[in-house]
Amino acid sequence: MPRFNTSSAFPLRKAALVTLILTGWLGGAQAQTIYPIDRADILEGSKFDFKVEFPDAPKPDAVKVTINGASVESVLGKAGTFIESEEGQKHSALWAREVSLAPGRYVVEAVQGDAKKTVVWNVFPASGPRKAKNVILFIGDGMSIAHRTAARILSKGWREGKYDSELAIDDMPNMALISTSGNDTIVTDSANSASAYTTGHKSCVNALGVYCAKNALSLDHPKVETIGELVKRKTKMALGVVTNTEIEDATPASMVAHTRRRSDFNEIVKMFLEVKPDVMMGGGSPNFLPKTTPGSKRSDDLDAIAKFREAGYTIATTKTEMNAAAAAGASKLLGLYNTGNIDGAFDLRLAKKGSVSKFPDQPDVTEQTRAALKILSANPDGFFLMVESGRIDKYSHSLDWERAVFDTIMLDNAVKVAKDFAADRNDTLIIVVPDHTHAVSLIGTYDDNRPGQLLRDKLGVYDKSLPPNYGPLDADGFPTDVNTSRRLAVVFGTYPDTCDTGKPFMDGERVPSVAGADPKTFVANEKDCTAPGAARKAGNLPFEANTGVHSADDGLLTAMGPNAEKFRGRKDNTFVFRVMAEALSLGGK
């Protein structure tokens, strides 16, 4: 490229830089920080902690905070507490905890010497007539477009370019692209992204129901109210949290939790105890057991199982017990079916690997949804139910697409159960959405009968991408054999050093890489590299990555029922909270 192009571009870049400095953008580390952050959309009447952090630990008389030009106390009803040099750190803080606001636009100004920081909040109304009696939020963790397309091919059949029938998640009247970034990074994690759905606030990676302030301890950060808390505080509705991951994991925890660190499992169990959702189901029992019980992961003597029992919960540890509780008319159910994650549909049905032999009577997400609906729908005031198919993500991390797609089909079956429930009533908002995506694509088929020895010889693309010859479907729409001679070619765009086999992993979840000789490096799992035709790939991720990573690609939301018409075009993930809050009129008294 000619040299003058470079030099002519330079002054432009410099000018842009100067503008950035003038607007304070580059001075972020030194400026005052206000929580909630700029452009926050806040539900009227919802509780949040207001915090302003001032650099250089100023004294209270050196700073001034106003909201719409008036004092903090006159707007928030609390003057707040000023903490000089908070926690001994090099900043001072103003806190006003558990405040709330009426609808409107709020301009918050924090002045410190010559430096002025301004943020604007939009407090939105949601106190009109209640549109929905029930809301069911389905989260396909990490569910991307290719998972969906592959699930449709596997489960619904493909003939002459058309599908034989529709996925329940596709056959919905409303649709939107959802952007999932957190406020700190382009690519998010499941804590931050689920929290956006359950609080309406974007936050940072690893955070649940809090903004990420400078506080040292994970539980001390400024909180925002979750939809689980709102439903319990403001309504008489029933509340349900259903997952096939550990119940303390990010997505289910986002219904109740406030912590900067998603791995605070023991604290998260306490938060479940505080909110007490009527139905809670998932894996992750060890954090419910007191430390004296072998198998406990707690560091204290809290017996959460006993506490829930005292509060009137039926405890189920198997599918049989779950169904018995639902049939017997239980109104509160705690179902814990595995010490870790509940096994995915691929292992429950086909491979029987994972922990299936250890826990032979685990329900799948579809069966859990059916039981949860039976229990929750008995409440005359309606219910809010969150259902997560959580291992679509986990299996995509391990680059095990068949397992991820089986769990997508399982989610689809669960949505079918919900749609059947909602069919003859126009009072239930159903939303199906991923919390983020993976870099995954369907590019053709591997055909063992193609000539050549290498995996890429077997790959049929374009006019060679003939449909797969998977085994017949079972009654629930899962293929009974995927280890056939012509299989979908689903590839991941991010990977550590690894070997692709082009075949399903019938002996257990794929292990894409193993620890290398140098600490914190990972190398291909040689077990896969010796498979016939295996393709060795040099990783394209940072060296310490041992699995695939999330992508920032938008996710696809589909929805039906009251207020679902709000979903169109592209929306931020926080908008999902707003639609649900409006549907249930959660801004009202």
Least separation, in Å, of the C-beta of 142 and other proteins?
A: 7
Closest approach of Cβ 548 to Zn ion, in Å?
A: 9
Q: Is 511 in the site for other proteins (CB under 8 A)?
A: yes
Binding mask 170-199 for Zn ion (x = CB under 5 A): ------------------------------
- Closest C-alpha to 139, from 400, 365, 420: 365
With contacts defined by CB under 5 A, name the span among 81-89, 389-397, 452-460, 475-483 that binds Zn ion.
389-397
Binding partner of 250, given Zn ion, other proteins, none, CB within 5-8 angstroms per partner class? other proteins
Q: Is the peptide bond before 36 cis (omega within 30 degrees of 0)?
A: yes
Decide: is 407 part of the binding site for Zn ion (CB under 5 A): no
Q: Which is nearer to other proteins, 112 or 408 (CB)?
A: 408
Q: From 41, 224, 42, 45, select the one nearest 588 (Cα to Cα).
A: 45
**What number of helices (H) and strands (E) belong to the chain?**
16, 30
Phi, psi of 139 (to 5 degrees): -115, 115
Q: Which is nearer to other proteins, 131 or 394 (CB)?
A: 394
Determine if 262 is a binding residue for other proteins (CB under 8 A): yes
| Minimum distance from residue 436 beta carbon to Zn ion (Å) | 7
Half-sphere exposure of 77 (CA within 13 A, CB side): 10
The site map against other proteins for 95-114 (x = CB under 8 A) is --------------------
- Give ∠ CA 79-85-89 in degrees, rounded to 5: 130
495 binds other proteins per the rule CB under 8 A: no
**String marking each residue 455-494 x if it binds other proteins according to CB under 8 A:** ----------------------------------------
Window 548-567: contact mask with other proteins (x via CB under 8 A): -xx-----------------
Is 272 an interacting residue with respect to other proteins (CB under 8 A)? no
In whole angstroms, the minimum distance from the beta carbon of 530 to other proteins comes to 16
Q: Does 198 bind other proteins (CB under 8 A)?
A: no
Among residues 44 and 393, whose Cβ is nearest to Zn ion?
A: 393
Structure tokens given for 370:
């059916």
Q: Which is nearer to Zn ion, 191 or 269 (CB)?
A: 191
Enter the tokens of residue 553.
């690609």
Q: Which residues pair with 91 in a beta bridge?
A: 55
Q: Does 86 bind Zn ion (CB under 5 A)?
A: no
> Residue 544's binding partner, choosing from other proteins, Zn ion, none, with beta-carbon cut-off 5 to 8 A by kind?
other proteins
Q: Choose the binding region for Zn ion from 67-75, 109-117, 391-399, 421-429 (rule: CB under 5 A).
A: 391-399
Answer for which of 179, 547, 563, 573 binds other proteins (CB under 8 A) is 547
Query: Which one, of 469, 387, 468, 400, lies nearest residue 137 by Cα?
Result: 387
Strand order in the sheet with 459-460: 459-460, 440-447, 486-492
The Cα 528–Cα 512 span in angstroms is 8
Strand 174-179 with 555-560, pairing: antiparallel
For residue 237, what are the CA distances in angstroms to 277, 279, 379, 386? 10, 12, 7, 13
Interface with other proteins includes 393 (CB under 8 A)?
A: yes
Tokens 């700029």 sit at which residue? 38
Q: How far is the CB of 421 from Zn ion (least distance, A)?
A: 29
- The C-alpha R_g of the chain, in whole angstroms, comes to 25
Which of 287, 369, 558, 574 binds other proteins (CB under 8 A)? It is 287
What is the DSSP-derived secondary structure letter of residue 60? G
Judged by DSSP in three states, 368 sits in: helix
**Amino acid, res. 245:** T
Interaction between residue 398 and other proteins (CB under 8 A): yes
> 134-140 and 437-438: which strand pairing?
unpaired
Q: Are 555 and 576 in contact (CB under 8 A)?
A: no
Tell which positions 318-347 bind other proteins, by CB under 8 A: 336-340
Instruction: Tell me: does residue 250 bind other proteins (CB under 8 A).
Output: yes
Dist. CA 457–CA 532, nearest whole Å: 12
- Rank residues 199 and 398 by Cβ distance to other proteins and give the closer one: 398
Minimum Å gap between C-beta 352 and other proteins is 16
CB of 363 to other proteins, least distance (A): 12
Which tokens hold the place of 237? Answer: 């509705």
Residue 272, burial from CB neighbour count under 10 angstroms (0-12, 13-18, 19+) = buried
Write down the least CB distance from residue 190 to other proteins, Å.
5
3-state secondary structure 293-330: CCCCCCCCCCCHHHHHHHCCCEEECCHHHHHHHHHCCC
Q: Return the number of other C-beta atoms located less than 10 Å from residue 392's C-beta.
A: 31
From the list 229, 246, 367, 393, which residue makes contact with Zn ion (rule: CB under 5 A)?
393
Q: Are 147 and 442 in contact (CB under 8 A)?
A: no
358, 456, 464, 570: residue in contact with other proteins (rule CB under 8 A)? 358
* In the complex, least distance from residue 10 CB atom to other proteins, rounded to whole angstroms: 33
User: Using the rule CB under 5 A, is 553 a contact of Zn ion?
Assistant: no
Interface residues with other proteins (CB under 8 A) are 141-142, 185, 187, 189-190, 205-206, 246, 248-250, 261-266, 285-287, 289, 291-299, 305, 315, 317, 336-340, 358-359, 390, 393-394, 397-398, 511-515, 519-520, 525, 542, 544-547, 549-550
Interface residues with Zn ion (CB under 5 A) are 393
